[in-house]
Structure 1
Amino acid sequence: MKKRHLVTMCLMLTAVLIAAGCYSSMTKEERKALEDAKAVMNYFPISSDGSFIFFAGPYQGGTAIIGPDEMAFWVKDGKAYTVNEAAKDVAPELEPAPNTVKYDDAFIDAAHCEEDERERGLPVTPPERLARAIHALNEAKTQKERFYALNDAAKESFSLGKIEDAREFANELLTLLPKFKSNWNYGNAVQDANLVLGRIALSEGRIDDAKRCLLEAGKSPGSPQMDSFGPDMSLAKDLLEKGERQVVLDYFELCRKFWRMDNGRLDKWRQQVKDGEFPDFSMNLL
C-alpha cells in the first residue's frame, strides 16, 4: 500500500492521517522535538510491531495528527485541515476545501519515510503479510507481545484460507482479553477476534454464530484506530450478502459509541441497507 493510498484512505475517513514510519528508528533529537512540543498525547502502532504509527496531540483547540513523513492534519469539530504544503500536494480532494493553518514546526520534526512499503522492505502481498504476522507471533517473548501479534496472525491466516490457524489465533486472542482491558489494543482485539471467528462460522454455514460474533465485535470499546478510521466491515458485508440486514443495522448502532468521527457514514450506510442497497465498505474492509 503506497503512502498516497494511505493518505487518501484517511481523508475519506474524516481526513485523519496514518503515516508510515518507525518510532524505534527515530533519533534521540527527533523524539525530543516531539516531547518538548508537548504535542504528543500518544503514538499508536497500527501493526503489531509498531511499523506504522501516527501521533496525535492537542493543538489550537483541536487535534494535530502527524506522521514521520512531514505530513499533518489539524482536526476540529469533525473537520480536517491541512497544516503543511506536503499534505496539500497529495490531498487535493480534502473536504472541506484545503486550508493551511499556522502550526508549530515541532509537530513535524520527526521526518523519515520512504515512498512506499515495498521500498522499505515491508510486505505487500497476502503471503508476505502472513509470513510477517507469523514471524512476529513466533518472536513474541511476553504475553503482551503475543497479544499484539495475534490480531494480524488471525486475520492474515483467514485471508489465505488457513481456517484452523485463524480459529486458533482468534480464540487465543479472546482468552487474553481479560488481562489487557486497559491496553490500547484491547478494542482492536475484541473486534478482530470476533470478526475472524464470525467469518469462519459463516464459511461453515453457521449463520447464527456469525451474527452473534458480529454483535460481539460491535461491543468493542473502540481504539485509537477504530475511533478515527471506523470498524472493520468485512463480516457485515458477508452477512449482507446472505440477506442478513437487521444484524448489520444493529452492528452500525453499536459502532456509534466509538466511531464519532464517521462523518455521517453510519447514517448513510444504514439508509442504504434499509433501502435494500449494498454500501461501499471498501475503505473499511481491513
Structure 2
Amino acid sequence: MNVQTIPVPTRLEAATAGPQFILWGNHLLRAFRSSDADTVRALAKEYLQLAESNRQSKNYGNAIHQANTVLGLLALENDHVDRAEFYLAAAGRTPGSSQLAGFGPNMLLAHKLLKAGRSHAVLKYLDCCSKFWKLSFGKLWMWKFEIRRGRVPNFGANLSYLLDPKSFG
C-alpha cells in the first residue's frame, strides 16, 4: 500500500478532533510498515507534537509510546544504539492508556536492544512499564528475572502490541 493513498489529517484537524488524532496514529503505523525511514521519522515526530496538543485524549499515552518506539526502531536500524535507548526510555515515560494498562507495552525495541547487549536500558524500561501496566500478571517480574540471568525473554504478543495498525485506538 502506498502511504500517499492513506488519508492524512492536517495538523490542525488532528489537534482539534479526537478521532483525527487517532487517524494520525493509525497513519504512522501503516507508514511504518510500508514507507521509507525519512517519511516515518517525520510522521513520528509530528505525532509527538500533536500528542502535546491532545494531552486530554485517551490515546495520548499510546501516541507517546508508539512514536518513541518507532523512532527507536529507526535509530537502531541505523546503528544508533544510544539514540535507540533514549527513545526506549521516552516510550517508557508514557502516562499509559487503557490499552497499555491491560495489554502492556510493545517490546520490539526492547527485544532488539537486548540482542545488542543493552540489558541495563531494558531493565530500566521495564521498571517504567510497571507504573502503567497494571495487569502484567507477573510478566514484568519474569522478564526482568530472565534478563538478569543473561537471557532474552519470550515477549510473545508484546512484540506486536500497539505497532500493528489493527491494534491501535
SS state at 2:76 partner: helix
TM-score of the superposed pair, with normalisation by structure 1: 0.51
Does 1:273 pair with 2:144? no
Amino acid at match of 1:187: G
After TM superposition, the structure 1 stretch with the greater mean CA deviation from structure 2, 275-284 or 150-159, is 150-159
Higher normalized strand content (fraction of residues): 1
Q: Which residue is 2:80 aligned to? A: 206
TM-score normalized by the length of structure 2: 0.84
* CA deviation profile, 1:55-99 (whole Å, cap 9, x unmatched): xxxxxxxxxxxxxxxxxxxxxxxxxxxxxxxxxxxxxxxxxxxxx
Structure 1 residues 134, 249: CA separation in 2 closer, same or farther (over 3 Å shift)? farther
Structure 2: stretches of 5+ with no match in the other structure: 161-169
Q: Which has the higher contact order (CA 8 A, sep 6+)?
A: 2
RMSD: 2.1
Structure 2: distance between partners of 1:281 and 1:134: 33
C-alpha displacement of 1:150: 2.5
**Deviation at 1:276?**
1.1
| Structure 1 counterpart of 2:6 | 135
Q: What is the DSSP-based 3-state SS (H/G/I as helix, E as strand, rest coil) of the residue aligned with 1:170?
A: helix
CA distance in 1, matches of 2:12, 2:147: 45
Compare the two structures and name the one with the higher helix fraction.
Answer: 2
Q: Which stretches in structure 1 are left out of the alignment for 5+ residues?
A: 1-126
Q: 2:94, 2:5 → 1: CA distance?
A: 25
Instruction: State the partner residue of 2:51.
Output: 177
2: CA distance between counterparts of 1:263 and 1:173? 31
Q: CA deviation at 1:189?
A: 0.2
When the two structures are aligned, how many residues end up with a matched partner? 157
| Counterpart for residue 190 of structure 1 | 64
Please list the CA deviations of residues 256-278 of structure 1 after superposition, one character each: whole Å capped at 9, or x if unmatched.
01101100000000001111111
Q: How far did 1:135 drift? A: 2.2
The answer to whether the Cα contact below 8 Å between 2:6 and 2:27 also exists between their aligned partners in 1 is no
Residue in 2 that maps onto 1:244: 118
Distance in 1, matches of 2:23 and 2:83, equals 25
Deviation, 1:211, is 0.3
